[in-house]
Copies of this chain bind each other. A is one copy, B any other.
Amino acid sequence: MTAQSMRDHLQSLPETDPELDRLVTEIIGRVADKWTMLLIEVLTEKGTCRFGELGRECVGISQKMLTQTLRAMERDGLVTRKIYPVVPPKVEYALTEMGLGLSEAFCGVWLWAERNRAAIEQARSDYAAREEA
């Protein structure tokens, strides 16, 4: 999709439905989150994962933030949580169909980040040079 066609698409959305606007914005606010994106990437790559495995793969996430993010993702229907009645308890997470759909949608953002890595670093050093001037 080009910027123009996105502009057309956005302009074609019913402006008269502020409730739809509010909901879509709220959903974007929820999923446009660093940890959600990283967890979706790990679950896409690895498939079913245990809690500890997700913690190890998401470098820098705290136990508390991992629990919170997974709970919000489960609540939104992005992941399933399966508890095995063993000792110690075994809990496995996997993406739902809807979670996989979001993973595909995010894929464009990952590709963009990879493609524009050098340009972003260049922009940052240009910005730093301007600030110093």
CA distance A46 to B112 in the complex (A): 22
Q: Per-residue 0/1 for A88-122: is the Cβ within 8 Å of any B Cβ (1 yes, 0 no)?
A: 00000000001011111111111111111101111
- Contact assessment for A109 and B28 in the assembled complex, using a CB-CB cutoff below 8 Å: yes
- Contact assessment for A31 and B104 in the assembled complex, using a CB-CB cutoff below 8 Å: no
CA distance A54 to B65 in the complex (A): 31
Return A116 CB to nearest CB of chain B, in Å: 6
- Contact assessment for B104 and A2 in the assembled complex, using a CB-CB cutoff below 8 Å: yes
Q: A2-B104, A32-B32 given. 18 additional CB < 8 A pairs?
A: A1-B108, A7-B44, A11-B45, A23-B121, A24-B113, A25-B59, A28-B110, A32-B33, A33-B33, A74-B127, A77-B119, A77-B123, A77-B124, A102-B109, A102-B116, A105-B108, A105-B111, A107-B108
Minimum-distance CB pairs A-B, first 5: A77-B123, A105-B108, A105-B112, A29-B34, A27-B113
- Please name 16 pairs of A and B residues whose Cβ atoms are closer than 8 Å in the assembled complex, sorted by A: A3-B44, A6-B103, A7-B45, A10-B41, A10-B110, A24-B113, A25-B38, A33-B33, A74-B127, A75-B124, A76-B124, A77-B123, A98-B123, A102-B109, A102-B112, A102-B116
